[in-house]
A and B are shown apart, each in its own frame.
Chain A
Amino acid sequence: MTEAPAGLALRIEHLKKSFRAPDGEHTAVIDVPAFELRHGEQVALRGSSGSGKTTLLNLVAGILDADAGKVWVDGRDMAALSESGRDAWRARTIGYVFQTFNLLQGYTALENVMLGMMFGRGADKAHATALLDRVGLSTRLSHRPRQLSVGQQQRVAVARALANAPKLVLADEPTGNLDPRHGSEALELIRTVCREQGAALLLVSHDPAILARFDRVDDLAVVNRAADMAPVAPPLAGVV
């Protein structure tokens, strides 16, 4: 199949990625024959440490280049785009929630959300404010990340990921740095807001409590045939 059928937020076909180890050997990290996610669908990927979760999400987001295979996001072949084209497509169609939040420390909560919009559909202060209000941070707009609790930081990250009304939200262990109660709240928030905005959600986690909340849970060890060979840590940049 070379065309992405309508109705799919994400389609992966024969995706392969390998890294060169310090000894010069190439180690396959990703080998996904096929994977699909429908618009609005919420899927959890169960993956243990070293299963290539982050690498897979980075390939989907166009942050990493694949060795082979194709990734369609909202019908667009990411490999067919130039690097700047991928950046633009990512900004408009993909929201990314990180385990470590990845908020910019010098910026306020509002600026963090607006910054994401500036590279996507354009800065809209009213929309950014409404999103932060939606995640319960209407009184923390001018706070910097260090002035927020970890739970509040993750909520800012969620608001930022959804700021451009993406078609696909990628969440990489989004509750990994939160205690169970805040983790549960954050997950519910992500799922609810994605549902409200019609965004598909692809969440990777190894936490059984998180995975249990999803109707569809795929095992990365099955999806990714290279999972058992993936290195524990990703190789250094630029050795691809």
Chain B
Amino acid sequence: MNARPGLWLIVSRSLRQHALSTGITALSVAMAAGLVMAVFAIKSQTYDAFTGGSNGFDAVLGARGSQLQLVLNTVFHLETSPGNLPWSMYEAISKDDGVALAVPYAVGDNYQGYRIVGTTPELFEKFPGERGIRVQAGGRFFTADAREAVVGSVVAQRTGLTTGATVNPYHGLIFDEAKRHQDEYTVVGVLEATNSPLDRVVWIPIEGVYRMSGHVLRGTGKNFRPEDGESIPEEHREVSAVMLKLKDPQAGIYLDQTINRQGTRATLAWPIGRSMADLFDKIGWVNRVLELVAYLVVLVAAGTILASLYNTMNERRREFAILRSLGARKGIVFSAIVAEATAIAALGALIGYVVYAGILALAFVIVRAQTGVVLDVFKMDPVLWLTPIGMVVVGALAGLVPAFKAYRTDVASNLVPAS
């Protein structure tokens, strides 16, 4: 006797007969599966994106203070600057034997809320990221002594800036129309998308930051305002931070030792990813809360499967009795209910991928808009196959209670009226 085709027939017909409750229950499972996959995948992808989003640089040198603040401000263009460094320190670190590339950043202005960063052309010419950095067709990088700007792809997309357009910086890191600088910069290039925080920046020559109308240089402790054509003495120059590409990890250990442990003037964030990893560790409880919520939703979904099947058991007693009278063993009836619960869970888990894709798409848009960081939505995370399997197992377990009730159905009393 081969009862398997019978089992499938019983399950498929029951799912069809109870299509509405099957659909609603599968949707609740889909929500649970999608939520679990999204919580774990977004956690994993944001971790990867934020701890690996340094575009090829190894370390950041900044004012004495928090490494995390330094990284957030310099690499992710979030947060405020922890302070400035004298130009001489930039000169010194750029000449260090262990440093392959040192690129100064000077911040303090914005354009419609997007950060303006003053830097040197070396950033573009020697960009250490794997994929390099390029301007879109028809554009070029700025020259060091011109009032020219290069805009990131997100900035161009959101503000409509194109090559040839002009921008007036606004003072401060938060957009305030009343704080408009009179200086005008011509956009000479739009960067191709790097899928990194670089896309949310307006880049200008660092000289432009020093000469911006209204800016006061306080490098020596005294106020200094350069006149047009007047060269700026080094002692008046400051940088917000220096992005560093090191020759080898030993250089990082050495600089960490000399700057962070023995020095008192500056902070070195090295490796860059470690600071972000520390941040994720500190906010790990948030993830645990989200995971707990996701697990609770799974429990609710399991309860929904159990309730939806259990509620049909009374109306299906006659069906079970008929099946038994036809020779179906108790085990087949039991298996049919467990299989039905499993099928609902499997269907829900499949639909869960749609829910997952929706949540991830939303997270992709939000994270990119807020930070410029792009999540790798196509990354294959183990949670994407573990969750559906887990949901199917949970579904099967939820089917045990109604299955046991079906198993215990008395055949004779549910078959026919009394004679």
- Determine if A64 and B412 form an interchain contact, defined as CB atoms under 8 angstroms apart: yes
- Determine if B419 and A204 form an interchain contact, defined as CB atoms under 8 angstroms apart: yes
**Cβ of B415 to closest chain A Cβ, rounded Å:** 7
CA–CA, A91 and B327, complex, Å: 4
Q: Knowing A63-B411, A106-B17 are in contact, say whether A87-B328 is a contact too (CB < 8 A).
A: yes
List A contacts of B325 (CB < 8 A): 61, 63, 90, 96, 102
Give residues 304-347 of B contacting A (CB, 8 Å): 318-319, 322-332
List the one stretch of A36-44, A50-58, A66-74, A147-155 in contact with chain B: A50-58
For B322, B330, B419, the residue with the greatest tally of chain A CB atoms inside 10 Å of its CB is B419
List A contacts of B16 (CB < 8 A): 106
List A contacts of B6 (CB < 8 A): 115, 118-119, 123
List B contacts of A212 (CB < 8 A): none
Decide yes or no whether A192 CB sits under 8 A from chain B: no
Give residues 16-46 of B contacting A (CB, 8 Å): 16-17
Decide yes or no whether A126 CB sits under 8 A from chain B: no
Residue of B nearest to A231 (CB): B418
- Determine if A91 and B415 form an interchain contact, defined as CB atoms under 8 angstroms apart: no
Partner of A118, one of B9, B17, B415: B9
Overall SS of chain A's interface? loop
List A contacts of B327 (CB < 8 A): 87-88, 90-92, 116, 119-120, 164
Residue of A nearest to B326 (CB): A116
Residue of A nearest to B12 (CB): A106
Tally of chain A residues near chain B (CB < 8 A): 50
Partner of B14, one of A64, A84, A99, A106: A106
- Determine if B416 and A104 form an interchain contact, defined as CB atoms under 8 angstroms apart: no
Give 1 or 0 for each of A102-135: 1 = CB within 8 Å of chain B CB.
1111110001001110111111000000000000
Give residues 156-180 of A contacting B (CB, 8 Å): 160, 164, 172-173
- Determine if A49 and B326 form an interchain contact, defined as CB atoms under 8 angstroms apart: no
> Which bucket holds chain B's interface residue count?
20 to 34
Q: Knowing A83-B330, A96-B325 are in contact, say whether A54-B419 is a contact too (CB < 8 A).
A: yes
CA–CA, A234 and B411, complex, Å: 13
CA–CA, A114 and B332, complex, Å: 16
List B contacts of A236 (CB < 8 A): 413
List B contacts of A88 (CB < 8 A): 1, 327, 329
List B contacts of A234 (CB < 8 A): 412-413, 418-419
Partner of A115, one of B17, B326, B410, B418: B326
List A contacts of B319 (CB < 8 A): 104
Residue of B nearest to A58 (CB): B412
**Cβ of A239 to closest chain B Cβ, rounded Å:** 9
Residue of B nearest to A93 (CB): B327
- Determine if B416 and A118 form an interchain contact, defined as CB atoms under 8 angstroms apart: no
List A contacts of B2 (CB < 8 A): 118, 122-123
Decide yes or no whether A237 CB sits under 8 A from chain B: yes
Decide yes or no whether A6 CB sits under 8 A from chain B: no
Partner of B329, one of A54, A84, A98, A233: A84
For A84, A91, A118, A232, the residue with the greatest tally of chain B CB atoms inside 10 Å of its CB is A118
List A contacts of B418 (CB < 8 A): 50, 54, 232-234
List A contacts of B322 (CB < 8 A): 102-104
Decide yes or no whether A24 CB sits under 8 A from chain B: no
Decide yes or no whether B264 CB sits under 8 A from chain A: no
- Determine if A107 and B13 form an interchain contact, defined as CB atoms under 8 angstroms apart: yes
For A49, A91, A111, the residue with the greatest tally of chain B CB atoms inside 10 Å of its CB is A91
Q: Knowing A91-B1, A106-B13 are in contact, say whether A119-B328 is a contact too (CB < 8 A).
A: yes
Decide yes or no whether B382 CB sits under 8 A from chain A: no
Decide yes or no whether B233 CB sits under 8 A from chain A: no
CA–CA, A201 and B118, complex, Å: 100
Decide yes or no whether B287 CB sits under 8 A from chain A: no
**Cβ of B18 to closest chain A Cβ, rounded Å:** 9
- Determine if A87 and B412 form an interchain contact, defined as CB atoms under 8 angstroms apart: no
Q: Knowing A106-B13, A106-B14 are in contact, say whether A55-B419 is a contact too (CB < 8 A).
A: yes
Residue of A nearest to B2 (CB): A122
- Determine if A118 and B3 form an interchain contact, defined as CB atoms under 8 angstroms apart: yes
**Cβ of A26 to closest chain B Cβ, rounded Å:** 17
- Determine if A120 and B330 form an interchain contact, defined as CB atoms under 8 angstroms apart: no
- Determine if B326 and A52 form an interchain contact, defined as CB atoms under 8 angstroms apart: no
**Cβ of A235 to closest chain B Cβ, rounded Å:** 8
Decide yes or no whether B257 CB sits under 8 A from chain A: no
- Determine if A100 and B416 form an interchain contact, defined as CB atoms under 8 angstroms apart: yes
Decide yes or no whether B414 CB sits under 8 A from chain A: yes
List A contacts of B328 (CB < 8 A): 87, 91, 119
List B contacts of A50 (CB < 8 A): 418-419
List A contacts of B413 (CB < 8 A): 234, 236-238
**Cβ of A154 to closest chain B Cβ, rounded Å:** 14
**Cβ of B91 to closest chain A Cβ, rounded Å:** 83
**Cβ of B161 to closest chain A Cβ, rounded Å:** 64
- Determine if B414 and A237 form an interchain contact, defined as CB atoms under 8 angstroms apart: yes
CA–CA, A208 and B331, complex, Å: 42
- Determine if B416 and A172 form an interchain contact, defined as CB atoms under 8 angstroms apart: yes
**Cβ of A105 to closest chain B Cβ, rounded Å:** 8
List A contacts of B330 (CB < 8 A): 83-84, 87
Q: Knowing A88-B1, A111-B9, A122-B1 are in contact, say whether A98-B415 is a contact too (CB < 8 A).
A: yes
- Determine if A237 and B419 form an interchain contact, defined as CB atoms under 8 angstroms apart: no
CA–CA, A57 and B410, complex, Å: 16
List B contacts of A58 (CB < 8 A): 411-412, 415
User: Can you list 13 residue pairs at the A/B interface with Cβ under 8 Å?
Assistant: A47-B419, A49-B419, A55-B419, A63-B415, A87-B329, A92-B1, A92-B327, A96-B326, A102-B322, A103-B322, A111-B13, A120-B1, A232-B418
Task: List the 4 shortest-distance A-B pairs measured between CB atoms, nearest first.
Answer: A91-B327, A237-B410, A118-B6, A237-B413
Task: Give 18 new A-B contacts, CB below 8 A, not counting A50-B418, A102-B325.
Answer: A52-B419, A54-B419, A55-B412, A63-B411, A87-B328, A91-B328, A96-B325, A102-B416, A106-B13, A106-B16, A115-B9, A118-B1, A118-B5, A120-B327, A123-B5, A164-B327, A234-B412, A238-B413
